[in-house]
A and B are shown apart, each in its own frame.
Chain A
Amino acid sequence: MIKILLDRNEPSEMEVRKHQNFDQILAAYQYQQKVNNPWRYWFYLTLVCGLLFIV
């Protein structure tokens, strides 16, 4: 079932800009990159194993 809204007020361009900016988007993207990076878990483990192997 769709909802039909008549003569709906749209926020102005300024309001939209105030509400959302590129820095927030970039921060969200960088956070996701960090979370999705498989090296996040393996890097330290590999490092420890490497060091143990050397020792």
Chain B
Amino acid sequence: MPLQLSFQQQSFLQEEEKTLITRAQTDSRYFAPLYERYHDAIFRYVYRRVDEEEKAYDITSNVFVKALQALPKYEYRGLPFSAWLFRIAKSELYQSFRDQKAQRTVSIDKVVLQQVVEEWVEDYTELDKQRLMNSLQKLNEQQLQLIEMRFFEKRSFKEIGQIIDLSENNAKVKTFRAVQKLKIIFNQKE
């Protein structure tokens, strides 16, 4: 669960982060604190989307190398630094899917899957779970991403928007539509 910070704490962290970024832009060795702060989150984001652990390590490593390469051109535009890293991770992931170096994977907790199904059907069965998994296959990539981030990773709409380059409101609307689509596909199979 994301840590709730006060406005003062958030602005202090933002200022500290800006200082770290400025230092890292002049000397890449100073990127270490930023790497330590975000490496785990980026690794997990990648790991949940690829089928093999080793590939997740490779892609994560590429993400940080690309980040170091692009860092001198980085400009703060109101988006958190983590969103910038997640966007690089997203682009690296899709590159590896295109090159067929990795298989697009969705990692789901059975409990979360059950919670989603239970909202739609009264008596949950194992068959419903399988139906939902089959329905997920029929969504387009953006719809799948939205459902994945919102329900399986419990991210806020703000964070989702920052990662996939949408406004918070737009992320909300598109997620709602993705859920509607998923429900339609799920019910078609009855």
Hey, which chain B residues are within 8 Å of A5, CB to CB?
Answer: 51, 105-108
A28 within 8 A of B: yes
A42 to B86, CA, bound (A): 36
Asked if A2 contacts B61 (CB within 8 A), the reply is no
Q: Name the interface residues of A9-26: CB closer than 8 Å to any CB of B.
A: 10-11, 13, 16-17, 19-20, 22, 24-26
Asked if B35 contacts A22 (CB within 8 A), the reply is yes
Closest 6 CB pairs of A and B: A29-B68, A25-B64, A3-B105, A22-B35, A8-B107, A22-B32
A-side interface residues, number (CB < 8 Å)? 24
A37 within 8 A of B: no
Chain A proximity of B11: nearest CB distance (Å): 27
Asked if B36 contacts A29 (CB within 8 A), the reply is no
Residue interface bits B1-28, CB-to-A below 8 A is 1, else 0: 0000000000000000000000000001
Hey, which chain B residues are within 8 Å of A24, CB to CB?
Answer: 61
Residue of B nearest to A1 (CB): B137
Chain B proximity of A16: nearest CB distance (Å): 5
Q: Name the interface residues of B105-121: CB closer than 8 Å to any CB of A.
A: 105-110, 113
Asked if B69 contacts A29 (CB within 8 A), the reply is yes
Asked if B57 contacts A20 (CB within 8 A), the reply is yes
A1 to B97, CA, bound (A): 11
Known A22-B31, A26-B28; contact A2-B136, beta-carbon cutoff 8 A: yes
From the candidates A1, A4, A30, name the one contacting B108 in the complex (CB within 8 A).
A4
Residue interface bits B41-68, CB-to-A below 8 A is 1, else 0: 0011001100101000100110011001
Hey, which chain A residues are within 8 Å of B107, CB to CB?
Answer: 5, 8
Chain A proximity of B123: nearest CB distance (Å): 20
B103 within 8 A of A: yes
B133 within 8 A of A: yes
Hey, which chain A residues are within 8 Å of B48, CB to CB?
Answer: 8, 10
From the candidates B29, B43, B57, B65, name the one contacting A28 in the complex (CB within 8 A).
B65
Asked if A29 contacts B28 (CB within 8 A), the reply is yes
Hey, which chain B residues are within 8 Å of A1, CB to CB?
Answer: 137
